[in-house]
Amino acid sequence: MWYEGWRFNEWTSVSIYFTDVLFFILFLFWLYNSFLSTTPKVKSKKLKIKSAIQNFKVYEYFLIIFLAVSAISITNSTNPIVSWFQWLKLLEFSVFYWYLVNYALKKFGLYNSFLAIFVGGIFQSVIAIIQFFKQSSTGLRFLGESIINSDLSGIASFYLPTGEKVIRVYGTTPHPNVLAVYLFLALFSFYFIYLYSRLHSEHQPLADSWDVKSRWDHVPLRDKVTLVFYGVLLLAFLTTFSRTIIFVWFASFCLRVIIIRLRRNYRLSFGTKDGRKRIKAILLVSFCVLVIFSSFYFNEIKVRLTISGEDQAIELRTFYAKESLKIGFNLFGVGIGNFVGWLAENKSNLPNYTYQPVHNIYLLVYSETGVLGILSFVVFLIYIIKDFILKTNLQRPYQLSFLVFFCSLLFIGFFDHLFLTIQQGSLVLWGSLGILTFISNSDII
């Protein structure tokens, strides 16, 4: 929609996504259904609004403080247009968070919500796998697919020792790391649909023996299909070659297994015949996909696992971190959304591709909104997690599992900025925040 100067930089521009328009429409429905359609009298409307404000939690007040500090930080910005736009984006996703907690998840439920995410993950996975084998885009530009092929520069890729260029997959997202984060959420959605949501309900039991024929013959058809789609999802996730995110998925996967073994009430939940079979099915499919992928793409994996201090990704992350700390002790930072503009002013002789946000959401918040901004943001996250633990007491396995997933996102935030600067990344973060808060306030699947 707008950018300053003659050279385009996505981090110092104003862009509108179709999902922004969709959010606006959904928020109007929420407003109408919550305050207009069911409360025709003005007095009732006022009472309902007053009740909503009185029910605010501690962490929601810290979110409002973060919004206020971010607005004040704009006074330090050298590019107020971009800063105001980024503040409006922050406000938009804050409202999206409240929309999920107070309306959408109540209306559609956790199961249906995770099912929608899982289906979206399958769609992205099919596109990603085609991109990987073609080593180019599939022609779905109208859905947001980036134009990628081996001849273009600036594409996320790496080189094999033979000199062959390997392009990482994008799906219809702007970067492989963004796709990996979404598929990470879709993988948890599968675990919820296939495993956690079934522990407290009756299902057709699986065969006692664990040979291939009896396993396949006795699993309900929808479970067979779901397992196949899980394999496709996991394969696409691996083709992103996102080192940090894949490592975090593997670590969180192992952590869940260990906790289930150690905690007695979880062992009882998974100790049923159906529970054991489902766990074995997940482990079997995961093992097969990992082994097959590693066998065919061992050299690619080896290259991605080789990390040196001269790796450009490492060098740039270190550079951005050092630059962000040069701001020093500042109450309101350089202005929300203005780190790249500030960097361009202070380091005007760098290559154009280096002008990016700091690859750490905490340093990014600190540099742009200062000490008050990072304090309110971190306290907001801490209180949400604390409230979740205290209210749920982590009695059900899916509660602990989602907490592990959410903390994994926060860990990934130390190595990337996508949760605050990219539309799809923000959807994952604020959507996960909404789900976490909803689970705190409800035990309905």
Q: Per the domain annotation, does 7 fall within a domain?
A: no
Beta-carbon contacts of 365 under 8 Å, excluding residues fewer than 6 positions away, are 373, 374, 377, 420
- In a domain, residue 39? The reply is no
The answer as to whether 148 is a domain residue is: yes
pLDDT digits (tens, 9 = 90+) for 151-187: 888 889 999 999 899 999 999 999 999 999 999 999 9
With respect to residue 47, please indicate whether it lies within any of the assigned structural domains.
Answer: no
Q: Give the pLDDT score at 279.
A: 87
Domain that residue 119 falls in: 56-441
Q: Does 188 fall in a domain?
A: yes
Using one digit for the tens of pLDDT, what is the confidence trace for 187-216? 999 999 998 876 644 333 333 333 434 444
- 420: Cβ–Cβ under 8 A, 6 or more apart, which residues? 357, 361, 364, 365, 426, 429
What is the domain count for the chain? 1
What is the predicted pLDDT for the residue at 34?
78
Q: Say what the pTM is.
A: 0.90
Give the pLDDT confidence score for residue 257 in this predicted structure: 82
Inside any domain, residue 125: yes
Residue at 36 is within a domain: no
Confidence (pLDDT) at 213 = 41
User: Rounded to an integer, what distance in angstroms lies between the CA atom of residue 214 and that of residue 195?
Assistant: 20
Quick one: pLDDT at residue 206?
32
The whole-number pLDDT of residue 442 equals: 77
Stretches where the chain sits below pLDDT 70 are: 37-54, 198-220, 267-269, 271, 308-310, 443-445
Q: What are the Cα distances from residue 112, in Å, to 153, 193, 231?
A: 41, 9, 21
Q: What is the pLDDT of residue 205?
A: 35
